[in-house]
Structure 1
Amino acid sequence: MTGPAEWPRQAPAGGRGSADRRGGADRRGAGRPGGADRRAGGDRRGDRRPARPVADLPRHVAYEAVAAVHRDDAYANLVLPAMLRDAGLTGRDAAFATELTYGTLRHTGTLDAILGDAAGRDVARIDPPVRDALRLGAYQLLHTRVPAHAAVSSTVDLVRAVGPGATGFANAVLREVASRDVDAWVAKIAPDAETDPIGHLALAYSHPQWIVRAFAEALGGDLGETTRLLIEDNERPPVHLCARPGRADAVELADEVGGAPGAFSPYAVYLAGGAPGDLSAVTEGRAHVQDEGSQLVANALAVAPLDGPDAHWLDLCAGPGGKSGLLGALAAQRGAELTAVEVSEHRARLVTQATRGLPVTVLNTDGRTVGADPQLPEGHFDRVLVDAPCTGLGALRRRPESRWRRQPSDLPPLTRLQRELLSAALRATRPGGLVAYVTCSPHTVETHVTVTEAARRAGVPADFVDARPLLPAGMPGLGDGPSVQLWPHRHGTDAMFLAVLRRG
């Protein structure tokens, strides 16, 4: 299951550099007396969102986006694009607001620990609007080259608008934050790396401890590689396009959009920046936004050797439609038809939009109804994809707020659903047919444990197929098989897991 690209307006390459270039924001009045304050005298009740400022609009938009995430459980990749449009921000200003938003959300855990130490109190005791403003200020101080005086003064102006009476407190806290760089802060407040390596990594690289532990386990306990993964998780993610087979060629599409062909997927194009949704190739249905890892696992199912008929394909968890779009295009070239199943009505509509003009039938139903639903008969399909709902720990770089929302308690209901869907997929597959089980999570409970348990309980015989030969030759770090785990730090993709089974 893939989501929309994170960056509504792609920031220029080099996150810190774009913030440095936005030093111009400070010259536009961020710290001038009476700048933001002229508009701060409006309604200070309710959620106290700041009135639209006279100056320094990018910082205020970033604040509004971060506040919406924490106050309303919003998703940044959904609310920020609309905020940028409403504010009329483009170019460097949009890039700066985007960087502040996503950078602050990624680093929230570490920023909160630093702010708590600097304030002498737990951040939970700080008024939420002031807390979000301080997070933005601390991010600028510790992770960008915005001058310290500009970061402090602009944040104090913001606090004056959202938390009257807290400006002195904010000024003192931010000046204390500015007294050390981020490495010195980590050395001061992080757990000892020798006695508590997981705790140290969690604070140093801003991930919850349970996620760091899960990553380390999936990487065989290699803390050095775990560190590299955490670092990559905190980087601005690339935007990948999928050139739809039969409608676009990846090399030609790369020339058209000013990108570069992907390293592994024959359909991948890497974008340097911009708004991918505005590209004519996307609006015309010749391409869609999709992480290269998602392309690889969907294509693996399509290229796996299969004896017998090959006309009926099934995507059992299709929303929002990225993998269905690729599979549908491949099916069209081979005279096959794809049935795409999605339980959510809204997401089913997205699948319909994503597969328009392709030999795809979209069913708005529960994939677990195989056998009970006449449209999903048992033993009928030749190739079946189960892109199961999961914690999404493999895409934290794209959805930075997810790392703070997900909890270990989310795992039991998700893994139960995963097992049920995979069992249904095996029942839907004809003898000799293939099932690809995919999750965008490297957590071993969602990967190896789920697929092994589901295969055992499905009630039909199934054998694992070595998935490694189904990926492009020369891909590094694919492990010992038969399943495959892709990684951001190894492959530049989301952390996609793939297991392929053949029904007996």
Structure 2
Amino acid sequence: MPARPQRTSKAPARRRRVDLPRQAALEVLVAVRADEAYTNLVLPATLARHGLSGRDAGFVTELASGTIRRQGTYDAIIAACSERPLAKVQAKVLDVLRLGTHQLLAMRVPDHAAISATVDLARDRVGAGAAGFVNAVLRKVAAHDLDTWIGQVSTEATFASVAHSHPAWVVERLAQALGPARDELDDLLAADNLSPRVTLVARPGLAERDELIAAGAEPLPYSPYAAALPGGNPGEVVAVAEGRAGVQDEGSQLVALGLAQAVLGGPDLNWLDLCAGPGGKAALLAALAGGRGARVLAVERQPHRAGLVAKATAASRTGLRGVVCADGTRPAWPADSFDRVLVDAPCSGLGALRRRPEARWRRQPSDLDALVPLQHALLDSALASVRPGGLVLYATCSPVLAETADVVNGALERHPGAVLEDLSGTGALAGIPDAAGPLPGTIQLWPHRHGTDAMFLALLRRTEPA
């Protein structure tokens, strides 16, 4: 009986397992791009879904957040290394390339490991053809370091935008906002690309800052209630878990303190937060008001954000009059009803790019066409809602002049019975260095100077009936 011929076909190559942290980072990028998710919200959910913690969680956080911050820089480099225009590269493939480029140019990942793991990710998530393309591009990226690449893909006119990964129009608006300090522009843009520490607030009457310090947080210089965690999950701090403390940037704390600590004559019982969502400032105001026998009405137009306000203020009931879902530009209360009013207006958010890195790629100059009229309308509503002699604090997390000085000047022109007060000597705001705003008496905080978001604050007093 003749021998059976031996089979010569090879068994299919075994597919290499995709690295889970890199897979999670890609999921974050896709959610931010395709679903318009927010990095700081989708990231914790993704880590929890995959059961990632410790070093793996830190790796995913840096890989995803760093890639989104540096997207503009990396796109310029990838374009120089690709034979295809970026517009013709599949969106998910571009996400993968950005992740690989960040590992090669900004993380302590060996080149061979960064390329190999990213190619495996492309093969698993997109296909073999994409893997070959990714491999070819990343090998070219690995030929130079980040500084060399920036020098090659930028010009004198585009250097700030490319080097610091900000759209050109954002660079222009921030430069205008710096005014005479325009030479600080590079420092400001660089600060936007630094990962901010988690800042906590100890809500007065409910928690002491010493309790946060005992939990490992470090006191911050300007707000007496602020402390920063060096790392870890803030939800593991007991006071945060119980709602007696919260996560809140020091600049945002100073907004609430600026209103609460300003000198006011006459009755001081009724406070209004006109744009309260998601509730951090309302919670601090309610805690401050409760200790003085006053109460805060928190108003938020969007129902889901009103729910966040209710949750944030749940522990401050003694200082809370209620949470109302209403349009702040159409007051559901009589005129002259409040002693203090906060207008933390919806804005471009260009002062908080450290915490919301995706905002720089979503915002467009045309967004100001809708935001600025809304800011004017809200400030008009606030001045109508406050009693004669009462105070209105207008704030934005944007330093853009169209959203700050121009809005305040417009209100002063429309309301002859309103005057601009000096905030520079008010409570916690007194003595903050280099914080002069674009109008006399206003405050402008900066990430590169103060380690806070770029909050703008202006205090107006209504001196006579409207």
TM-score, with structure 1 as normaliser: 0.86
Cα separation, 2, equivalents of 1:387 and 1:242: 18
Shift of residue 34, structure 1, vs aligned partner = 6.8
- Partners of 1:223 and 1:367 lie apart in 2 by 35
- Contact 1:251–1:260, Cα closer than 8 Å, also in 2: no
Matching of residues 191-270 of structure 1 within 5 Å: 191-192=155-156, 196=157, 199-220=158-179, 222-255=181-214, 257-270=215-228
Alignment partners' CA distance in 2, 1:262 and 1:321: 21
CA deviation vs aligned residue, 1:296-320 (integer Å, no higher than 9, x gap): 1110110000110100100000011
Is it true that 1:465 corresponds to 2:421 in the alignment? yes
Q: Determine if contact 1:104/1:136 at 8 Å carries over to the other structure.
A: yes
- 2:449 maps to 490
Unaligned runs of 5+ in 2: 1-11
Match of 1:363 in 2: 324
Structure 2 Cα separation of the partners of residues 358 and 456 of structure 1: 38
Please state if 1:151 is matched with 2:114: yes
Q: Does structure 1 residue 411 correspond to structure 2 residue 375? A: no
> In 2 relative to 1, CA 323–182 (structure 1 residues): closer, same or farther, beyond 3 Å?
same
**Aligned-partner residue type, residue 183 of structure 2:** G
Aligned-residue identity in percent:
54
* Distance (Å, rounded) in 2 between the aligned partners of 1:264 and 1:314: 24
Aligned residue number for residue 64 of structure 2: 101
Tell me, yes or no, if structure 1 residue 118 matches structure 2 residue 76: no
Alignment partner of 1:162 is 2:119? no
Confirm whether residue 300 of structure 1 aligns to residue 258 of structure 2.
yes
Deviation at 1:55, TM superposition (A): 4.7
The equivalent of 2:9 in structure 1 is: none
Aligned residues: 445
Per the alignment, do residues 472 and 171 of structure 1 end up closer, same or farther by CA in structure 2, a change over 3 Å counting?
Answer: same
- The answer for the alignment partner of 1:352 in structure 2 is 310
1:221 CA displacement: 5.2
Q: Deviations over 1:395-446 (max 9, x none)?
A: 1111111100000000011000000000000000100100000000000000
SS at 2:155 equivalent:
coil
Q: Distance in 2 between matches of 1:317 and 1:430?
A: 19
The corresponding residue for 1:189 is 153
Per the TM alignment, residue 377 of structure 1 is displaced from its structure 2 partner at its CA by: 1.5
* 2:13 corresponds to 1:70: no
Which residue of structure 1 lines up, in the alignment, with residue 23 of structure 2?
A: 60
Q: Which residue of the partner structure matches residue 431 of structure 1?
A: 388
User: In the superposition, relative to structure 1, how do residues 232 and 88 fare at CA in structure 2: closer, same or farther (>3 Å)?
Assistant: same
C-alpha displacement at 1:76, in angstroms? 1.6
CA distance in 2, matches of 1:438, 1:337: 20
Distance of 2:87 and 2:236 partners within structure 1:
40
Shift of 1:482: 1.3
* Closer/same/farther in 2, CA of residues 208 and 221 from structure 1, 3 Å limit: farther
Judge which range, 241-250 or 164-173, deviates more: 164-173
Kindly provide the amino acid, as one letter, of the partner of residue 326 in structure 2: T
Following TM superposition, by how much is the alpha carbon of 1:170 offset from its aligned partner in structure 2, in angstroms? 1.2
Q: Deviations over 1:198-243 (max 9, x none)?
A: x210011000011111111111154431100111100101111110
Structure 1 gap segments, 5+ residues each? 1-32, 39-53
Counterpart for residue 16 of structure 1: none
How big is the shift at 1:280?
Answer: 1.5
Q: Deviations over 1:164-187 (max 9, x none)?
A: 212222111101100011110111
With 65-74 and 266-275 compared, the bigger mean Cα shift is at 65-74
1: distance between equivalents of 2:18 and 2:92? Answer: 19
Within 1, Cα distance between the matches of 2:401 and 2:222? Answer: 25
* TM-fit CA distance, 1:354: 1.2
**Shift in Å, 1:477:** 0.5
Distance 2:318 2:344 in 1: 20
Question: Which stretch of the first structure deviates more once superposed, 126-135 or 414-423?
Answer: 126-135
CA distance in 1, matches of 2:79, 2:61: 25
Q: CA deviation at 1:163?
A: 2.4
Structure 1, residues 331-381: CA drift from partner, whole Å, max 9, x if none?
A: 0000001111101111111111111234311111011122xx2xx211121
Whole-Å Cα distance in 2 between the matches of residues 85 and 111 of structure 1? 28
CA distance in 2, matches of 1:501, 1:128: 48
| Corresponding position of 2:461 | 502
C-alpha separation in 1, matches of 2:100 and 2:37:
21
Tell me how far apart the structure 2 counterparts of residues 202 and 64 of structure 1 sit (CA, whole Å): 27
| Bigger Cα displacement from structure 2, 388-397 vs 271-280 | 271-280
Alignment-mate amino acid for residue 407 of structure 1: Q
Given that residues 291 and 319 in structure 2 are in contact (C-alpha distance below 8 angstroms), is that contact kept between their aligned partners in structure 1?
A: no
Name the SS for the 2:460 alignment partner. Answer: strand
- 1:27 is matched with none
Compute the TM-score of the two structures, normalised by the length of structure 2: 0.93
Give me the whole-angstrom Cα distance separating, in 2, the residues matched to 1:160 and 1:221. Answer: 51
- What one-letter code is carried by the residue in structure 1 that aligns with 2:63? L
